[in-house]
A and B are shown apart, each in its own frame.
Chain A
Amino acid sequence: MPAQDISDNKAFLTEKVIKNYSGIFDKASLSRIASIRRDTVDRPVIYIGTGTCGIISGAKATLEKVRKFIAENKIEASIIEVGCNGFCSAEPLLDIQLPGKTRLSFHNVTEDKAEDVLNSALHHTVQSDLVLGQYRQAGLEEWPNVGLIDNLQWFSLQTRHILKNAGIISPASIEEYIVRGGYKSLYKTVLNYPADKICEIIEQSELKGRAGGGFLTGRKWKIALDTAGDQKYMICNADESDPGAFMDRAVIESDPHRVIEGLAIASYAIGASQAIIYVRSDYENPLKVLEYAIKQAREYGLLGEDIFGSGFSLSINIRRGAGAFVCGEETALITSLEGQRGLPRPKPPFPAEKGLWGQPTVINNVETLANIPGILENGPGWFKSTGTQSSKGTKLFSVAGKAASTGFIEVPMGISFSSIIYDIAGGVRDGNALKAVQLGGPSGVCIPPAELDTPLDFEALSAIGAKLGLGGLVILDEKTCMVNLAKYFIDFLQKESCGKCIPCREGTRKMLDILNGITKRPKEESAHETLERFKGVVQLENLAHVISDTSLCGLGQNAPNPVLSSLKWFREEFEEHIFDRRCRAGVCHDLRTFYIDVDPCTGCNICQKKCPENAIIGSVKLPHFIIESKCTGCGICFDVCKFSAIYFK
């Protein structure tokens, strides 16, 4: 869009598009909307996904290359930076839309491939090995022999409400969000409904908080609305502290205005004139995107004083979290905002009654808020029509770890684990067997293959002792050691424990000691240590229950979950470590003993030279031998052997 059009567009969009209830436009407006939506383009448009996942994959280099290519060849084309469409393992994504033709998407377009892709596409030919698919766009000429992008395995089972615009629109363009129905719900809300009616609509939709608590969002708003306070606060939690989950980041980067609109509606519903977005400081790109989006919304009069002449005013501030896992917890987040160490407070009083500076405060996460505009646009019935009896609507999940395809998806509540893993993500990478699925961050659980048919909703998951959490799915393959993983999580939680409650602070440390004992090399310990270890193992389960029963906040209460769930479903692996002193995955270094297979061993002598313990003996050109009592299991010989002659048990 040329620069001089922007001020015109502003008046057109705020006066004619947002305020148009009927959806009926005259011909001139329709063509203007179509051109902003880029349904029709008059010159080639190149879209590059520059979300964090894209940047990591090298999208910035691709972008530079594309810019250079266009300048050098004097091609009249626009370049648009978009977010991510969710298919992160296909990043960097590059789309091309030629006049009169549908938008064509290419995957894994790294710097070196960009030129070829552009060259062929601009000459109306398709470089087939990099094509992802074409968009479904009525009235435009389709590319021959190219599949539709929504028929791809990754997309076909998804129901995309929140991610409707993700990867399609530019996050830096409020215009594109508005012509796709954006800010209409906010307009409708502030002009037509009293605040309690909004709370009621959201409660009717049965939207539950997407941060894992599962409390009805509408009810939480109503409590805050009904509590008297001088200054109420609405907080959007974009801290997303669970490692392994990244949907909130992706939503902000791909469609920031949806979150801002949701936040504005929520603020109206609880009667808050101040809203805060709490973003993790590591999220540099989302921070930039949000800051710019808020600035734009302010320029358009969608934030600020007296929005749409309704008398409702709202200012949104961004606060950067300073990096503490515990600040994902509501009350800890509030103490952090007050400028203190992020220590949780006892509940009740709940933040909705007494939160930031003692005032009624509602905290919702990014995904919850991103659901709001859709519910007000289409009604609570529409929202309720997807999902299950106990959990309505759709849910975002991120798929990471050892899955064949990774990224983030939006699916109806109640979909099974196996559908996500096999039907969407294409199974486990490299054809390995699936060992477990880790759900819900460090304090989540590991679900074994036997439970994969469990529907993903609040009720069914709590029946098997799991929690939805933020919705981060990490796929574990057979090369994962469950004891080692439990140790990793406990180590994480131990470091992140704020230290307020002794059971959490000292209990997790003790748990870590026990797990370290289990995975330690047996040869080095005295009889007393062995006894202590066995005593510890017996106590592990008891200790876990004490920690979860006596801790104040969610972090402590859920801290033993990784151990408890692993003990429940993978007990035999713990027993193997304790009694047989064996790690079947070969991950626990201390428990490995290496052997040399005499047939492939050529006697090259390299292992003998590299062994730090002098545990390998043998003459040149004759098979070597490892002295078991000297071997510490460091694995150096295994790594240096060129003939795969060394194996471990």
Chain B
Amino acid sequence: MEAIFEKYSLKKPENLIPLLQEIQEANGYLTDEIVEKVSVHLNIPTNRIYGVATFYDQFRFKRRGMFHIRVCRGTSCYLCSSSSYLKEIEKLLKVQDGSVSRDKKFSLETVNCMGGCSQSPVIRINDTYYHHLSVSDMGEIIRTLRAKSE
């Protein structure tokens, strides 16, 4: 984190978002301590940092699972019934949109658009994309991932 602070050494308010983005990338998520450190570093009150971090979808204060599942909820994916995939995943993993499964292996998130509207519905797990699946394929995919993690 020190290296990132060094990169944004100037106490400029516009550095706040890039700084948080890079810290989140390195750490996986933001914590209270991080917000406090950023506050000291940039000389911005913590309440403003919380204001910014909770305003944007990108920032999160929760750890992600080993497999982070992103279901697209863009117009095109929604029409191609992405919500039934979402329901199936929620049922299979017993997680809710935006939360992590109890075994900390899976986390689920809906995103506004991944820019792959032509291949909808699109689901992304870590760096792998899945498209044109049938809802029943989800069980098999999750089983494979779970086996992989063990």
Contacts of A480 in B (CB 8 A): 79
User: B51, A341: Cβ atoms under 8 Å?
Assistant: yes
User: Which of B17, B122, B129 counts the most chain A CB atoms within 10 A?
Assistant: B17
A592 CB-CB contact with B under 8 Å: no
User: B116, A324: Cβ atoms under 8 Å?
Assistant: no
User: A282, B14: Cβ atoms under 8 Å?
Assistant: no
Nearest residue, chain A, Cβ from B21: A320
User: A249, B115: Cβ atoms under 8 Å?
Assistant: yes
Checking A55, A325, A337, A339 against B112 with a beta-carbon cut-off of 8 angstroms, the contacting residue is: A325
Contacts of A243 in B (CB 8 A): 73-77, 112-113, 117
- Cα A582 to Cα B114 in complex, Å, equals 34
Nearest residue, chain A, Cβ from B112: A243
Q: Which of B66-113 contact A (CB under 8 A)?
A: 73-80, 111-113
Beyond A56-B129, A400-B120, is A282–B52 a contact (Cβ under 8 Å)? no
Interface size class of B (residues with CB under 8 A): 35 or more
Q: Which of B37-60 contact A (CB under 8 A)?
A: 48, 51-52, 55-59
Nearest Cβ on chain A to B96's Cβ, whole angstroms: 16
User: B13, A52: Cβ atoms under 8 Å?
Assistant: no
Q: Which of A34-42, A401-409, A508-516 is near enough to bind chain B?
A: A401-409
Nearest Cβ on chain A to B16's Cβ, whole angstroms: 4
User: B14, A338: Cβ atoms under 8 Å?
Assistant: yes
- Cα A398 to Cα B117 in complex, Å, equals 9
B143 CB-CB contact with A under 8 Å: no
A306-335 CB mask vs B (1 if < 8 Å, else 0) is 000000000000011011110000000000
Beyond A243-B75, A322-B17, A488-B78, is A339–B119 a contact (Cβ under 8 Å)? no
Beyond A246-B118, A400-B118, is A282–B74 a contact (Cβ under 8 Å)? no
Checking A246, A323, A341 against B115 with a beta-carbon cut-off of 8 angstroms, the contacting residue is: A246
User: A56, B76: Cβ atoms under 8 Å?
Assistant: no
Nearest Cβ on chain B to A504's Cβ, whole angstroms: 15
User: B129, A400: Cβ atoms under 8 Å?
Assistant: no
Nearest Cβ on chain A to B110's Cβ, whole angstroms: 10
Nearest Cβ on chain B to A125's Cβ, whole angstroms: 29
Contacts of B59 in A (CB 8 A): 322
Contacts of B12 in A (CB 8 A): 339
Nearest Cβ on chain A to B25's Cβ, whole angstroms: 10
User: A244, B56: Cβ atoms under 8 Å?
Assistant: no
Beyond A55-B129, A339-B16, A474-B79, is A88–B119 a contact (Cβ under 8 Å)? yes
B27 CB-CB contact with A under 8 Å: no
Nearest Cβ on chain A to B18's Cβ, whole angstroms: 7
Nearest Cβ on chain A to B127's Cβ, whole angstroms: 9
- Cα A89 to Cα B116 in complex, Å, equals 10
Nearest residue, chain A, Cβ from B113: A243
A262 CB-CB contact with B under 8 Å: no
User: A52, B131: Cβ atoms under 8 Å?
Assistant: no
User: B18, A319: Cβ atoms under 8 Å?
Assistant: yes
Q: List 19 A-B contacts (CB under 8 A).
A: A53-B116, A53-B118, A56-B131, A243-B73, A243-B113, A244-B76, A246-B113, A322-B59, A325-B112, A339-B52, A340-B13, A341-B51, A402-B80, A472-B75, A472-B117, A474-B79, A480-B79, A488-B78, A496-B112
What residues make up the interface of B, taking CB atoms closer than 8 Å to A?
Answer: 12-18, 20-21, 48, 51-52, 55-59, 73-80, 111-120, 122, 129, 131
What residues make up the interface of A, taking CB atoms closer than 8 Å to B?
Answer: 52-53, 55-57, 88-89, 91, 240-246, 249, 280-283, 286, 319-320, 322-325, 336-342, 398-402, 406-408, 438, 441-442, 472, 474, 476, 480, 485, 488-489, 492, 496, 498
